[in-house]
Amino acid sequence: MGFVDSFGRVHDDLRLSITDRCNLRCAYCMPQDPVWYPHGAILSYEEIERVARIAIAGGVRKLRVTGGEPLVRRDVARLIASLAALPGLSDLSLTTNGVLLASHAKELARAGLRRVNVSLDTLDRDRFAKLTGRDRLTDVLKGLAAAADAGLGPIKINAVLLRGENEAEAIELARFGRERGYEVRFIEFMPLENDHSWDLGRVVSGAMVRRSIAEAWPIVPDPAGDPHAPASRYLYEDGNGAVGFIDSVTAPFCASCTRIRLTSDGKFRVCLYDDKEEDLRAALRGGESDDAIAARMQAALARKGRGGAIDILESKAAIPLARTMHQIGG
């Protein structure tokens, strides 16, 4: 058995969202006054670990813990330790906004976390406060340094550029990464509707960012780049690391997508853009066997569309979804 869909894509990468709560309020991601899921709706660590174990038995090799903001949930290191102990994993990582990372980094590394991705869209304190609704840039920078000290590398920085807001910061963000050995990845603003503010005009294309970075520092495509990775990876010709581009709008990578997701309220999701979810929470709490739960996951995967049919550039419109990114798990 393996998590293979009807287009032959072998799904080995599971994203586990462990909370919908967040300590920032990035407007492109979530509402300013969110209504959180009640605690009882959120999977326990034991339930999350069970789904991870079933997924690994089905061929998943990479786990990424995300949210919401995963570090706002109590005792994350306990979950990390239980996931790290699962045999068969080739990667265990965490996506965080970095705000609480300074106080967690060592403990997470000790628990078996291998690496972190930190989301950071700006290095300007005022702009950070405006984009995220919170004045926490200093904490994020401390968190990054602590993660590096704790050996949680290679550290990647995820940056979303928005036209008219932080687009001019591409070079500064890239420079920041080059100087510290962090791999910055520029992610196009995706139409996961929240405040109806998405439109193509606000998307800064990866191609544009690539051009301006290449003018500052010549880059070449990484010959060892993973064809299933969403980011196309480039190496700086001067040997100063790498930079990535996730062109999710202008060049969707559905054809090579091998990602599946578990939301914090226990729904299994086979595509960011597909609201049809499988309710694993009901199955877990209803006493179903591991095999039955695996079969539910297989069945959901069999319904996964080819993708690419979502021609965002063609429709120029946001895709209406029941959930926003903070609820799905980025």
What is the binding site for ligand SAM (CB under 6 A)?
Answer: 22, 28-29, 66-67, 69, 95-97, 119, 158, 160, 187, 189-190, 192, 325-326, 330
Nearer Cβ to ligand SAM (198/234): 198
- Closer to ligand SAM by CB, 28 or 236: give it: 28
- Which single residue brings its beta carbon nearest to ligand SAM? 330
DSSP letter, residue 206: H
Which one, 28 or 58, has the nearer CB to ligand SAM? 28
In 3D space, the residue among 316, 324, 31 whose CA is nearest the CA of residue 199 turns out to be: 316
Least distance (Å) between residue 223 CB and ligand SAM: 27
Euclidean distance between CA atoms 34 and 13, whole angstroms: 28
DSSP strand pairing (62-66 vs 13-17)? parallel
User: CA 98: distance to chain centroid?
Assistant: 13
Q: How far is the CB of 218 from ligand SAM (least distance, A)?
A: 27
User: Which is closer to ligand SAM, CB of 12 or CB of 247?
Assistant: 247
Nearer to ligand SAM, 124 or 288 (CB): 124
CB of 291 to ligand SAM, least distance (A): 31
Residue 209 carries which side chain, given as an amino acid letter?
V
User: Residue 27: beta bridge partners?
Assistant: none
CB of 247 to ligand SAM, least distance (A): 11
Strand order, beta sheet including 13-17: 219-221, 232-236, 242-246, 183-187, 156-160, 115-119, 91-96, 62-66, 13-17, 259-262, 267-269, 278-279
Minimum distance between the CB of residue 192 and ligand SAM, rounded to whole angstroms?
A: 4
DSSP-derived secondary structure for 24-68: ---TTTS-SS--PPPGGGSPPHHHHHHHHHHHHHTT--EEEEESS
- The H or E element spanning position 118 is strand 115-119
List, as one string, the DSSP characters of 156-184.
EEEEE-BTTTTGGGHHHHHHHHHHHT-EE
Comparing CB distances to ligand SAM, the nearer of 93 and 95 is 95
Tallying the residues shown for the chain, one arrives at 330
Measure CA of the first residue to CA of the last residue in the chain; give whole Å: 27
The distance of closest approach from Cβ of residue 326 to ligand SAM in the complex, given in angstroms and rounded to an integer, is: 5
Closest distance to ligand SAM from the beta carbon of 239 (Å)? 27
Closer Cβ to ligand SAM, 19 or 294, answer by number: 19
Nearer to ligand SAM, 155 or 293 (CB): 155
Beta bridge partners of 94: 65, 116
Alpha-helix runs per DSSP H in the chain: 45-57, 76-84, 101-111, 125-132, 137-149, 170-180, 206-216, 280-285, 290-302, 312-315, 325-328
Residue 287 C-beta: closest distance to ligand SAM, Å: 31
